[in-house]
């Protein structure tokens, strides 16, 4: 992932672009289950965005089921893929 991968002129919000890059890393195995994703602070530095933008990206990933957050510990890749059911 790098800042050059973000298109600030795109109609897609920057936080969604960051989330898409993280999802791609999860899907190709660069980020693995139960391991931390980069912190909001690291994302702000890497992509040159405001902390709120990084926070929105992480929130989106959590809402979509790609990650889970442990208070005071960090945000980790979820074991279950989005859309999976218990059946």
CA distances 32 to 7, 29, 46, 53, 65, Å, are: 26, 6, 20, 23, 14
Return the DSSP state at 87.
Answer: -
Angle at Cα 17 formed by Cα 85 and Cα 31, nearest 5°? 55
Contact 51, 40 (CB under 8 A): yes
pTM of the entire predicted model: 0.86
Give the pLDDT of residue 5: 85
> Tens digits of per-residue pLDDT, 30-71?
999 999 999 999 999 999 999 999 999 999 999 999 999 999
């Amino acid at each position: 992932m790098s800042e050059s991968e973000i298109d600030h002129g795109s109609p897609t919000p920057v936080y969604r672009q960051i989330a898409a890059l993280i999802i791609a890393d999860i899907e190709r195995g660069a980020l693995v289950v139960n391991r931390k994703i980069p912190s909001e602070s690291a994302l702000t530095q890497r992509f040159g965005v405001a902390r709120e933008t990084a926070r929105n990206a992480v929130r989106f990933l959590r809402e979509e089921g790609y990650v889970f957050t442990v208070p005071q510990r960090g945000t980790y890749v979820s074991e279950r893929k989005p859309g999976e059911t218990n059946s």
